[in-house]
Amino acid sequence: MRAIIQQFGPALESIALEHYTPASLSSSQIQLKMRFSTMNPSDLITISGAYRSRISLPFIPGFEGVGIVHQCNEQDSAFSIGDRVLPIGSAGAWQSYRNIDERWCFTVPNQLSDEQAATSYINPMTAWLMLSERLQIQQNMTVLINAANSAIGLMLVRMLNHLGIKPIAIVRRDNTLQEFEGCKLQRIININNRDDYHSLIKMKHHIKVDAILDCIGGGESLMLSSLLKEHGQFINYGLLSAQPIPPQFWLERPDINFSYFHLRQWIHSAEKIDIQNKLNEVMQLVYKGIADTKISARFSLKDIHSALNYIQTNEETKKGKILLTF
């Protein structure tokens, strides 16, 4: 069984389930029997047609999951039947059997559970690549993270702690301290609390922030930029506000060391050995609990419409992942 999109639109209306016979393998492919796939809010954005310029219809959604090698050319393949594999680089994880080019398949260490392996790519890899490849780490630096109590925000906090840094956490509601249990922070600021907001604005007079990790965009990016020290680093990795960073950002702070980070761009420009090495680092962090992911719910693929209802209506999905089982 697989989920298939014949036309872009709202996920509940666009996703259909169908039985299918997997195609014959080409010489460069292996076939995986999927064990788990994840459902992310970003999958719904893809299904809506936001990236239609690079996705042809029909397509199988799902960018993250883990499977077992079911078929391969064992004489020429680096894998053997029964090996556990992380397939990345394209959509196609929401199906029972997946044919995929072997160059986009990566090994998984034995110590990870299937659930850990299935959730070890999108958020953990994005967070770790930003910190290890993009952020200019300095001792005792001040890093500010917005949406810090989101799944990836908490991951960034734990990873920064692992690197010896206590960040400032920006959130959007009160009483979030328990969500940061075990984390080391300079402070938590609720940007929707008037007193907290004013203290945040005043902070630029006595604390200069070295780096900002922003996934909101819009006016919040502009406001936070005023807190950054001269030539400070600003990394944007999302637009949860659905608004671009305004032109005033660059007019007011032309000195800022600004960059966007997109996992897809890094993955599609890196050599396979470099991707595997980074995945190995990430999976060690997953195993240690630093980059582990909370599972909000599990649904069988045949119940995918229930899963879609859940992800659209349940606040818990902002803190964890939905797993699809096969």
Range of the domain at 34: 2-119+293-325
Does some domain include residue 115? Answer: yes
Shared domain check, 256 and 127: yes
pLDDT confidence of residue 123: 95
Query: CATH number of the domain that 169 lies in?
Result: 3.40.50.720
Residues 248 and 159 in one domain: yes
Of 211, 109, 200, 214, the closest CA to residue 152 belongs to: 214
Last residue of a domain, one of 246, 264, 282: 264
Q: Does residue 185 sit in the same domain as residue 143?
A: yes
Q: Are residues 258 and 302 both part of a single domain? A: no
Residue 133 and residue 103 in one domain:
no
CA nearest neighbour of 32 among 114, 113, 133, 152: 114
CA 183/CA 299 separation, integer angstroms: 30
User: Tell me: the pLDDT tens digits for 210-221?
Assistant: 999 999 999 999
Along the 326 residues of the chain, how does pLDDT read in single tens digits?
A: 999 999 999 999 999 999 999 999 998 999 999 999 999 888 998 999 988 888 999 999 999 999 999 999 878 889 999 999 999 999 999 999 999 999 999 999 999 999 999 999 999 999 999 999 999 999 899 999 999 999 999 999 999 999 999 999 999 999 999 999 999 999 999 999 999 999 898 887 888 899 999 999 999 999 999 999 999 999 999 998 889 999 999 999 999 999 999 999 999 999 999 999 999 999 999 999 999 999 999 999 999 999 999 988 876 666 679 999 99
Q: Would you say residue 146 lies in a domain?
A: yes
| Any domain includes 276 | no
Question: According to the model, what pLDDT value does residue 264 have?
Answer: 94
What pLDDT, on a 0 to 100 scale, did the predictor assign at position 316?
A: 61
In CATH, what number is assigned to the domain containing residue 13?
3.90.180.10
The tally of domains found in the chain comes to: 2
Measuring CA to CA, which residue among 207, 189, 111 is closest to residue 153?
189
Q: Are residues 166 and 103 in the same domain?
A: no
Task: Specify if 196 maps to a domain.
Answer: yes
Do residues 166 and 255 both lie within one domain? yes
The answer to whether position 23 is within a domain reads yes
267 backbone dihedrals φ, ψ, rounded to 5°? -60, -40
**Structure tokens given for 217:** 């965009």
User: Quick one: pLDDT at residue 312?
Assistant: 83
Chosen domain end from 244, 264, 284: 264
Please report whether residue 280 resides in a domain: no
- Locus of tokens 């990566």: 106
- Half-sphere CA count of 127, side-chain side, radius 13 A: 31
Residue 303 lies in a domain: yes
Measured CA to CA, the distance from residue 58 to residue 204 in angstroms comes to: 50
pLDDT in tens, 242-272: 899 999 999 999 999 999 999 999 999 999 9
Q: What local confidence, expressed as pLDDT, does residue 254 receive?
A: 96
Cα–Cα–Cα angle for 118, 25, 69, rounded to 5 degrees: 35
**Chain-centroid distance, C-alpha 203:** 30
Q: Which of 243, 264, 285 is the last residue of a domain?
A: 264
Q: Is the dihedral of CA 73, 74, 80, 86 positive or negative?
A: negative
Residues 58, 189, single domain; the answer is no
pLDDT digits (tens, 9 = 90+) for 48-95: 998 888 899 999 999 999 999 999 987 888 999 999 999 999 999 999
Cα separation, 103 vs 118, whole angstroms: 18
**Length of the chain, in residues:** 326
Residues 313 and 259 in one domain: no
Counting beta carbons within 10 angstroms of the beta carbon of residue 89, is it exposed (0 to 12), middle (13 to 18) or buried (19 or more)? middle
Check whether residue 94 and residue 223 sit in a common domain. no
Does residue 249 form part of some domain?
yes
CA–CA separation, 159 vs 59, rounded Å? 34
Is there a single domain that holds both residue 102 and residue 185? Answer: no
84 and 171 fall within a common domain: no
pLDDT value for 141: 96
